[in-house]
Amino acid sequence: MSDNPQIFPRFAGKTVLVTGAGTGFGAAIAHRAAQEGADVVVHYNRSREGAERTAAGIRELGRTAHIVQADIATWPAIEKLADEVFGLVGTLDVLVNNVGDFASETQGWQDLTPESLDRVIDVDVKGTLVMTHVFGARMLAQGHGSIVNIGSTVVVRGSARAPQYAAAKYAILGITKSYATAFAPAVRVNTFAPGFMETEALKARADWKAGRREKLIAATPMGRIPEPEVVAGTALFLATEEADHITGSYLVADGGYNMIGA
């Protein structure tokens, strides 16, 4: 990704924190933010090597990259992370809550276990809520900020494969709306919902390789399943000045697969 030039200056002089930026969509968002002029804080939990790659790509673009580690499933870890991040950058303009447990080990609702349910709720619901709560409060104190919570179009159709994942992503809508109201007008909070993206994790799944990919492409008007880089800029749009009057919203980029709305 590092051979791509700067694209737009939408985040020139700003700082952006992306959680789960060592791999997949988080890495693509972090890189895109740097292409648009941001200095980026790259968060990871276990993917240290991936975080180093993401940071190296950001630095090749001439931007500053900081690497931070935390398991955002616990409140104390998030408080500690906030201390570290604000200590590094002073002012944080944008938080992208990308981290989420996809329950990839679940191939059908029958596979649900107490452990999988607890992990998804801890990371996707509690983690997103507490990240929004703790970082949002500090953004309020500094007088500005924007938070983008990465949701999913799974809330439209549900998931017979992983109902715990659908439930958790639906909860993010409530988190977003609640804090959008609480933090207005200084700090905006929105949800970005990508459709299927061909991340390495998705391409490795057995059902994806067994024909699901082709079925989804056939049902998608745009006729493709994009790489994460294709929609990274769309996610970041919600944190730009162009989106200054958008808060509490749910923005979908799924190639027309769901066509939700009025």
**Rounded-to-integer distance, Cα 203 and Cα 213, Å:** 9
Give me the helices (H) in the chain, please.
24-35, 48-60, 75-89, 114-120, 128-142, 154-157, 163-183, 200-203, 206-207, 213-218, 228-237
Count of Cβ atoms closer than 10 Å to residue 235 Cβ: 27
Could you tell me which residues come within 8 angstroms of residue 247 by beta carbon, excluding any fewer than 6 positions away?
180, 184, 188, 189, 190
Residue 202 DSSP symbol = H
Catalytic residue, chosen from 44, 165, 179, 250, is 165
Structure tokens of 230? 């294709």
Q: Answer yes or no: 170 catalytic.
A: no
Could you give the residue numbers annotated as active site? 165
